[in-house]
């Protein structure tokens, strides 16, 4: 997915066939010199003469490939939407320029984790049996929820009898929207509604369910544990046995789903980390709530609140929640990535050079030798070009960005460059080091944001591994304040060993094994401390694992929420 190194400059290399021909010529020359046979020596020089002529023709082919780049014809549009773990096959045609005879064409998609892409050549020709068209079957997928971009292909074209190979970069911009998987849920798996305010009833479409209300749902046989005040004495006398009344509940369930996006949640391979489980759980829980016309909201936090979607019901609310969930892997703020300002400028400049052929490098005479602050690129023009390119993003995608372009860094210019990397698919390395006490401060800020929101009381479902939850006293006070306001707090902790980091073979890397074991012990210690401090305040802890589907999680939540 990253742009290729070398500025996309075409390279001309001999193929295995040319190297074999040169090796045969060398063998003939050495044989002629060893035995004093000038005829054999002259015959050995013929392959080199032929390779020299072929090399000149290959340079002409490379020049034509530079003058008229390859054209990529992708059937199915420039945006692909699929679920996590799925693969989609697309038809791709690569058209070579006129005057260039290509004997074999190979294409390698520039895809980095979590994207998975392969391009396999197909038999025959492309549309219209164009001899310059080379058909491929592009298989592409993603292992993590998000909005990704396939920037192009590394193409290897064998020219002039297949003796030389021209390697070029073919830019493209294929957007891949990877959606969470949908888990079906039984209709009887539901949450109990907390007390709802009159404000929540205004304009809401109420879903009928069992509970406390004014309307009678049905009469049934009395069961152990039913309140005696629900006994229908007239019906009981008529039937000769105890009959209990069951009422309709007209309460609207209002739920805030809190997703922790701290660095520790990203530990592990894409698709198997805790953040992947948290995103899919949040998506399916929100879908189960909104499908029943309940209110669901989303809040994303690490050491501070990053994204916030207020609770609402309906199909449009689910679309807003999905947009926020797909934004989680792309939070490239300056306090979340390991990259310097100079490296950031170089990556954006390399993108313009490889994708659009525009160079922002300064002349060598204008760059001071050894200056750590002065960049080797014209940053003013580079930022202006990034701003112009970002203006086209909302129009093409059909919706406005969730985060403003000045929300990724304290400095506006660096924030624009980070926003450009996010929407153009330029990967920035995430910082894997958790901030001490970051999760406790972030969870505290998230609960305070819920208490400051309109409506309520709310059921707060937080998903966090609690790895760096050190300073618990402010969080305990905030949880008690939420309890006094009749909010219900449930913490889902993905602390199952299935989420642990991948282990190496015994004895292969003792240092890595020791680091993994230390992280396990620290996580368990922090989790035990959090339970000791927060349970007296009414907080409920639920341990979940990778095998827990939505129905099992809802069954657990229905007992405590």
pLDDT at 220 (0 to 100): 84
Name which of 72-86, 178-192, 253-267, 340-354 the model is least confident about.
178-192
pLDDT at 445 (0 to 100): 94
For residue 501, the 8-state DSSP code is P
Name which residue leads in pLDDT, 409 or 215.
409
pLDDT at 385 (0 to 100): 94
Name which of 40-49, 106-115, 205-214, 448-457 the model is least confident about.
205-214
* Whole-number average pLDDT of the chain: 83
Does residue 421 register a pLDDT over 80? yes
Does residue 350 register a pLDDT over 50? yes
pLDDT at 251 (0 to 100): 58
Specify the 3-state DSSP secondary structure of 148: strand
Q: Which domains does the chain have, with CATH numbers?
A: 1-179 (2.60.40.10), 209-249 (no CATH), 254-333+432-560 (3.40.50.410), 341-424 (no CATH)
How many Å apart are CA 21 and CA 15, to the nearest integer? 10
On whether the CB atoms of residues 489 and 447 are closer than 8 A, the answer is yes
Specify the 3-state DSSP secondary structure of 548: coil
Name which of 10-24, 192-206, 212-226, 506-520 the model is least confident about.
192-206
Name which of 376-385, 396-405, 407-416 the model is least confident about.
396-405
Does residue 367 register a pLDDT over 50? yes
How many Å apart are CA 30 and CA 25, to the nearest integer? 9
Name which residue leads in pLDDT, 468 or 76.
468
Name which residue leads in pLDDT, 554 or 323.
323
pLDDT at 470 (0 to 100): 78
pLDDT at 346 (0 to 100): 92
pLDDT at 514 (0 to 100): 77
pLDDT band at residue 199 under the 50/70/90 scheme: very low
pLDDT at 3 (0 to 100): 39
Burial (CB count <10 Å: 0-12, 13-18, 19+), residue 551: middle
Name which of 169-178, 368-377, 441-450 the model is least confident about.
368-377
Partnered with residue 248 across adjacent β-strands are: 210
- Percentage of the chain beyond pLDDT 90 is 41
Instruction: Tell me what the mean pLDDT of segment 453-476 comes to.
Output: 86
How many Å apart are CA 204 and CA 201, to the nearest integer? 5
Instruction: Tell me what the mean pLDDT of segment 203-232 comes to.
Output: 64
For the residues of 116-134, what is the DSSP string, one character each?
EEEEEE-SS-SGGG-TTEE
Instruction: Tell me what the mean pLDDT of segment 58-86 comes to.
Output: 86
pLDDT at 2 (0 to 100): 40
Category of 538 on φ-ψ map: left (φ > 0), alpha (ψ -120 to 50) or beta:
left
Burial (CB count <10 Å: 0-12, 13-18, 19+), residue 301: buried
For residue 312, the 8-state DSSP code is E
pLDDT band at residue 213 under the 50/70/90 scheme: very low
Task: Please choose, from the candidates 20, 71, 59, the residue with its C-alpha nearest in 3D space to the C-alpha of residue 159.
Answer: 59
Task: Please choose, from the candidates 180, 198, 195, the residue with its C-alpha nearest in 3D space to the C-alpha of residue 288.
Answer: 180
How many Å apart are CA 104 and CA 34, to the nearest integer? 39
Instruction: Tell me what the mean pLDDT of segment 286-310 comes to.
Output: 92
On whether the CB atoms of residues 279 and 331 are closer than 8 A, the answer is no
Pick the most confident of 187-191, 266-270, 506-510: 266-270
Task: Please choose, from the candidates 488, 501, 504, 502, the residue with its C-alpha nearest in 3D space to the C-alpha of residue 542.
Answer: 488
Task: Please choose, from the candidates 208, 213, 222, the residue with its C-alpha nearest in 3D space to the C-alpha of residue 247.
Answer: 213
Does residue 399 register a pLDDT over 70? no
Task: Please choose, from the candidates 53, 41, 46, the residue with its C-alpha nearest in 3D space to the C-alpha of residue 22.
Answer: 46
- Tell me the two tokens of residue 370: 């050894």
Specify the 3-state DSSP secondary structure of 544: coil
pLDDT band at residue 1 under the 50/70/90 scheme: very low
Does residue 329 register a pLDDT over 90? yes
How many Å apart are CA 179 and CA 325, to the nearest integer? 9
pTM of the model: 0.82
Name which of 94-98, 381-385, 486-490, 497-501 the model is least confident about.
497-501
Does residue 280 register a pLDDT over 80? yes
pLDDT band at residue 498 under the 50/70/90 scheme: low
Name which residue leads in pLDDT, 321 or 402.
321
């Amino acid at each position: 997915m990253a742009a290729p190194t070398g500025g996309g400059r075409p390279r001309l290399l001999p193929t295995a066939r040319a190297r074999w021909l040169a090796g045969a010529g060398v063998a003939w020359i050495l044989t002629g010199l060893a035995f004093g046979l000038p005829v054999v020596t002259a015959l050995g020089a013929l392959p080199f003469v032929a390779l020299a002529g072929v090399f000149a023709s290959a340079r002409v082919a490379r020049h034509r490939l530079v003058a008229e780049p390859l054209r990529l014809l992708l059937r199915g549009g420039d945006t692909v939407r699929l679920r996590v773990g799925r693969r989609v096959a697309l038809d791709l045609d690569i058209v070579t320029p006129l005057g260039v005879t290509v004997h074999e064409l190979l294409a390698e998609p520039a895809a980095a984790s979590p994207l998975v892409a392969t391009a396999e050549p197909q038999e025959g020709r492309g549309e219209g049996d164009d001899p310059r068209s080379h058909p491929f079957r592009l298989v592409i997928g993603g292992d993590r929820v998000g909005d990704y971009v396939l920037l192009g292909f590394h193409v290897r074209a064998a020219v002039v009898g297949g003796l030389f190979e021209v390697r070029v970069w073919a830019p493209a911009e294929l957007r891949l929207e990877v959606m969470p998987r949908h888990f079906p849920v039984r209709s009887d798996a539901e949450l109990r509604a907390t007390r709802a305010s009159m404000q929540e009833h205004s304009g809401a479409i109420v879903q009928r369910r069992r509970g406390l209300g004014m309307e009678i749902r049905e009469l049934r046989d009395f069961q152990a544990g039913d309140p005696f005040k629900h006994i229908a004495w007239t019906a009981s006398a008529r039937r000769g046995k105890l009959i209990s009344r069951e009422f309709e509940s007209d309460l609207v369930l209002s739920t805030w789903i809190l997703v922790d996006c701290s660095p520790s949640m990203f530990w592990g391979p894409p698709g198997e980390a805790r953040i992947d489980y948290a995103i899919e759980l949040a998506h399916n829980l929100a879908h189960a709530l909104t499908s029943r016309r309940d209110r669901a909201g989303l809040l994303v936090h690490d050491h501070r609140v990053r994204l916030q979607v207020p609770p609402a019901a309906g199909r449009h609310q689910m679309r807003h929640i999905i947009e926020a969930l797909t934004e989680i892997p792309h939070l490239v703020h300056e306090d979340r990535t390991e990259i310097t300002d100079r490296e950031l400028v170089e990556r954006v400049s390399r993108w313009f050079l490889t994708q659009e052929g525009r160079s922002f490098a300064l002349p060598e005479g204008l760059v001071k030798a050894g200056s750590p602050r002065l960049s080797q690129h014209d940053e003013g023009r580079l930022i202006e070009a990034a701003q112009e390119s970002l203006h086209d993003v909302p129009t093409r995608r059909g919706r406005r960005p969730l985060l403003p372009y000045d929300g990724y860094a304290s400095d506006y210019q660096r924030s624009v460059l980070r926003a450009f990397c996010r929407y153009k698919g330029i990967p920035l390395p995430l910082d894997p080091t958790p901030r001490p006490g970051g999760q406790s401060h972030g969870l505290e800020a998230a609960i305070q944001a819920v208490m400051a929101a309109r409506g309520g009381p709310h059921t707060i479902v937080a998903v966090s591994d609690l790895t760096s939850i050190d300073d618990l006293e402010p969080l305990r006070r905030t949880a008690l304040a939420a309890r006094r306001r009749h909010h219900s707090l449930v913490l889902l902790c993905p602390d199952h060993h299935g989420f642990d980091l991948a282990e190496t073979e015994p004895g292969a890397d003792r240092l890595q094994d020791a680091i993994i074991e230390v992280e396990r012990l620290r996580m368990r210690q922090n989790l035990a401390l959090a339970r000791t401090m927060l349970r007296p305040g009414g907080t409920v802890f639920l341990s979940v694992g990778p095998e827990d589907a939505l129905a099992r999680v809802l069954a657990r939540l229905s007992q405590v929420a």
